[in-house]
Chains A and B, each alone.
Chain A
Amino acid sequence: MTKLYGAGEAQVAALRGVSVELAQGEFTAIMGPSGSGKSTLMHCLAGLDAVTAGDVFVGDLQVNGMSDKELTRMRRSQIGFIFQQFNLLPTLTAEENILLPLSIAGRKPSKDWFDRVIDTVGLAGRLAHRPTELSGGQQQRVACARALVSQPEVIFADEPTGNLDSTSGTEVLKFLQYSVRTLGQTIVMVTHDPNAASYSDRVVFLADGQIVDELREPTADTVLDMMRKIDVQARVA
Chain B
Amino acid sequence: MLTATLKSLLSRKLRLVLSGLAVVLAVMFVSGSMVIRDTLGRSIDNQFTGAYVDTDLHVSLKPKVKAGTGEKAVVPPADPAMVERVAKVPGVGAAVGVVKAEGARVLGKDGRLVPGTGGPRYGESWRGEGELLSLRSGSEPRTDTEVAINAGLAKKGGFKVGDRIGVLTSEPKQTFTVAGVFGYTEGRDSIGGEQTVAFTVPVAQQLMMGEAGGFSGVKIDAASGASVASVRSALTKELGAGFEVLTGKELAKKDSDASRGVLDLMGQVLLGFAAVAVLVGIFLIVNTFSIIIAQRIKELALLRALGASRRQMINSVLLESFVVGLVSSALGLAAGVGIGALGASLLSGSIDGLAVGSLQVPASAVVTAFAVGILVTMMAALFPAMRAAKVAPIAVIRASATTDGKGRKQTWTGGVLFGLGAVLLALSLFGDSGIGMMLVGVLLVFVGVALLAPLISKPSVWALGVPFSRSLPGQLGRRNSARNPRRTAVTASAMMIGVALVTAISTVAVSAEKSVGDVVSHDLKADLMAVGESGSALSAAIDPAALAEAGRSAGVKNVAAMSFDMATVGKDKQPVVAWQDWSVARDMLGVREKQGSIGSLAAGTVVMNEATAKSRGVGVGDKITVQLQRGEPRTYKVAGIFENTALAEGLVVPWADAEAGFRAKQPSQAFFELSAGASVSEVRPQLEKHLKYSPEVSLKTKSEVLDLYSGGFAMILTVVQALLGVAMLIAVLGIVNTLALSVLERTSELGALRAIGLSRGQTIRMIMSESVVISLFGALLGIVVGGVLGLAVARAMREQGVTELSLPWSQMFTYLVGAAVVGVLASLAPARRGARLNVLRAISHG
**Which residues from B are CB-within-8-Å of A73?**
757
Answer whether residue A146 sits at the interface, using C-beta atoms and an 8 A cutoff: yes
B755 and A104 contacting across the interface, CB-CB below 8 Å: no
**Which residues from B are CB-within-8-Å of A192?**
none
**Beta-carbon nearest neighbor of A92 in chain B:** B479
B762 and A87 contacting across the interface, CB-CB below 8 Å: no
A72 and B760 contacting across the interface, CB-CB below 8 Å: yes
B752 and A87 contacting across the interface, CB-CB below 8 Å: yes
**Beta-carbon nearest neighbor of B472 in chain A:** A103
A101 and B839 contacting across the interface, CB-CB below 8 Å: no
Answer whether residue B756 sits at the interface, using C-beta atoms and an 8 A cutoff: yes
Contact with A along B754-796 (1 / 0, CB 8 A): 1111111010000000000000000000000000000000000
Nearest-neighbour CB distance to chain B for A29, whole angstroms, equals 20
- Cα-based distance from A149 to B472 in the complex (angstroms): 17
Answer whether residue A89 sits at the interface, using C-beta atoms and an 8 A cutoff: yes
**Beta-carbon nearest neighbor of A103 in chain B:** B472
B759 in complex: contacting residue of A72, A80, A87, A92, CB < 8 Å: A72
Answer whether residue A119 sits at the interface, using C-beta atoms and an 8 A cutoff: no
- Cα-based distance from A83 to B846 in the complex (angstroms): 12
Nearest-neighbour CB distance to chain B for A41, whole angstroms, equals 13
**Which residues from B are CB-within-8-Å of A91?**
476, 479-480, 482-483
Answer whether residue B54 sits at the interface, using C-beta atoms and an 8 A cutoff: no
**Which residues from B are CB-within-8-Å of A48?**
755, 839-840, 843
Main secondary structure of the interface of B (DSSP, over half): helix
**Which residues from A are CB-within-8-Å of B753?**
89, 100, 104
A83 and B757 contacting across the interface, CB-CB below 8 Å: no
Answer whether residue B748 sits at the interface, using C-beta atoms and an 8 A cutoff: yes
By size class, the interface of chain A is 20 to 34
B760 and A68 contacting across the interface, CB-CB below 8 Å: yes
Given A85-B748, A91-B483, A103-B472, A75:B840 Cβ within 8 A: no
**Beta-carbon nearest neighbor of A46 in chain B:** B755
A87 and B748 contacting across the interface, CB-CB below 8 Å: yes
A72 in complex: contacting residue of B472, B749, B757, B840, CB < 8 Å: B757
Nearest-neighbour CB distance to chain B for A43, whole angstroms, equals 6
**Which residues from A are CB-within-8-Å of B472?**
103-104, 106
**Which residues from A are CB-within-8-Å of B752?**
81, 83, 87-89
- Greatest chain A CB density within 10 A among B472, B482, B755 is at B755
Contact with B along A17-46 (1 / 0, CB 8 A): 000000000000000000000000001000
**Which residues from B are CB-within-8-Å of A100?**
753, 756
Answer whether residue B551 sits at the interface, using C-beta atoms and an 8 A cutoff: no
B479 and A69 contacting across the interface, CB-CB below 8 Å: no
**Beta-carbon nearest neighbor of B756 in chain A:** A101
B749 and A89 contacting across the interface, CB-CB below 8 Å: yes
**Which residues from B are CB-within-8-Å of A76?**
756-757
Nearest-neighbour CB distance to chain B for A75, whole angstroms, equals 5
- Greatest chain B CB density within 10 A among A85, A92, A103, A104 is at A104
- Cα-based distance from A139 to B756 in the complex (angstroms): 16
**Which residues from B are CB-within-8-Å of A89?**
476, 749, 752-753
B757 and A105 contacting across the interface, CB-CB below 8 Å: yes
Answer whether residue B751 sits at the interface, using C-beta atoms and an 8 A cutoff: yes
A43 and B760 contacting across the interface, CB-CB below 8 Å: no
A43 and B756 contacting across the interface, CB-CB below 8 Å: no
**Which residues from B are CB-within-8-Å of A231?**
none
B756 and A104 contacting across the interface, CB-CB below 8 Å: yes
- Cα-based distance from A45 to B142 in the complex (angstroms): 108
**Which residues from B are CB-within-8-Å of A49?**
840
Nearest-neighbour CB distance to chain A for B742, whole angstroms, equals 12
**Beta-carbon nearest neighbor of B479 in chain A:** A91
- Cα-based distance from A105 to B756 in the complex (angstroms): 9
A69 in complex: contacting residue of B480, B483, B759, B840, CB < 8 Å: B759
Given A48-B840, A87-B843, A75:B755 Cβ within 8 A: yes
**Which residues from B are CB-within-8-Å of A92?**
479
Nearest-neighbour CB distance to chain A for B846, whole angstroms, equals 8
- Cα-based distance from A131 to B839 in the complex (angstroms): 22
**Which residues from B are CB-within-8-Å of A72?**
754, 757-760
- Cα-based distance from A89 to B762 in the complex (angstroms): 16
Beta-carbon contacts under 8 Å, B729-760 to A? 748-749, 751-760
A104 and B757 contacting across the interface, CB-CB below 8 Å: yes
**Which residues from A are CB-within-8-Å of B760?**
68-69, 72
**Beta-carbon nearest neighbor of B483 in chain A:** A91
Nearest-neighbour CB distance to chain B for A139, whole angstroms, equals 12
**Which residues from A are CB-within-8-Å of B751?**
87
- Cα-based distance from A35 to B707 in the complex (angstroms): 80
- Cα-based distance from A101 to B752 in the complex (angstroms): 10
**Which residues from B are CB-within-8-Å of A105?**
757
Nearest-neighbour CB distance to chain A for B14, whole angstroms, equals 25
**Which residues from A are CB-within-8-Å of B758?**
72, 104
Nearest-neighbour CB distance to chain A for B35, whole angstroms, equals 50
**Which residues from B are CB-within-8-Å of A68?**
760
Nearest-neighbour CB distance to chain A for B513, whole angstroms, equals 46
- Greatest chain A CB density within 10 A among B483, B751, B757, B840 is at B757
Nearest-neighbour CB distance to chain A for B266, whole angstroms, equals 50
**Beta-carbon nearest neighbor of B840 in chain A:** A48
Nearest-neighbour CB distance to chain B for A202, whole angstroms, equals 24
Beta-carbon contacts under 8 Å, A122-180 to B? 146
**Beta-carbon nearest neighbor of B751 in chain A:** A87
- Cα-based distance from A68 to B836 in the complex (angstroms): 10
**Which residues from B are CB-within-8-Å of A106?**
472
**Which residues from B are CB-within-8-Å of A101?**
756-757
**Beta-carbon nearest neighbor of B760 in chain A:** A68
- Cα-based distance from A106 to B472 in the complex (angstroms): 8
Nearest-neighbour CB distance to chain A for B821, whole angstroms, equals 26
- Cα-based distance from A91 to B472 in the complex (angstroms): 13
- Cα-based distance from A69 to B756 in the complex (angstroms): 13
- Cα-based distance from A112 to B825 in the complex (angstroms): 44
Beta-carbon contacts under 8 Å, B827-846 to A? 839-840, 843
Nearest-neighbour CB distance to chain B for A119, whole angstroms, equals 22
Nearest-neighbour CB distance to chain B for A120, whole angstroms, equals 19
**Beta-carbon nearest neighbor of B403 in chain A:** A90
Nearest-neighbour CB distance to chain B for A144, whole angstroms, equals 13
Nearest-neighbour CB distance to chain A for B750, whole angstroms, equals 10
A104 and B762 contacting across the interface, CB-CB below 8 Å: yes
B480 and A43 contacting across the interface, CB-CB below 8 Å: no
**Beta-carbon nearest neighbor of A77 in chain B:** B757
**Which residues from B are CB-within-8-Å of A80?**
756
**Beta-carbon nearest neighbor of B839 in chain A:** A48
Given A91-B476, A91-B480, A146:B748 Cβ within 8 A: no
Beta-carbon contacts under 8 Å, B466-486 to A? 472, 476, 479-480, 482-483
A83 in complex: contacting residue of B476, B759, B843, CB < 8 Å: B843
Nearest-neighbour CB distance to chain A for B103, whole angstroms, equals 72
**Beta-carbon nearest neighbor of A72 in chain B:** B759
Nearest-neighbour CB distance to chain A for B749, whole angstroms, equals 6
- Cα-based distance from A80 to B479 in the complex (angstroms): 24
**Which residues from B are CB-within-8-Å of A85?**
748, 843
- Cα-based distance from A112 to B751 in the complex (angstroms): 30
- Cα-based distance from A80 to B464 in the complex (angstroms): 34
A146 and B756 contacting across the interface, CB-CB below 8 Å: yes
B757 and A75 contacting across the interface, CB-CB below 8 Å: yes
**Beta-carbon nearest neighbor of A86 in chain B:** B752
- Cα-based distance from A43 to B482 in the complex (angstroms): 34
Name A's B-contacting residues (CB within 8 A).
43, 48-49, 68-69, 72-73, 75-76, 80-81, 83, 85, 87-92, 100-101, 103-106, 146
Name B's A-contacting residues (CB within 8 A).
472, 476, 479-480, 482-483, 748-749, 751-760, 762, 839-840, 843
Q: List 27 A-B contacts (CB under 8 A).
A: A48-B755, A48-B839, A48-B843, A68-B760, A69-B759, A72-B757, A72-B759, A72-B760, A73-B757, A75-B756, A76-B756, A80-B756, A81-B752, A81-B755, A83-B843, A85-B748, A87-B749, A87-B843, A88-B752, A89-B752, A91-B476, A103-B472, A104-B472, A104-B756, A104-B759, A104-B762, A106-B472
A104-B758, A105-B757 given; name 5 further pairs at CB < 8 Å.
A48-B840, A48-B843, A72-B759, A75-B754, A81-B756
Nearest 3 Cβ contacts at the A-B interface: A76-B757, A87-B752, A91-B479
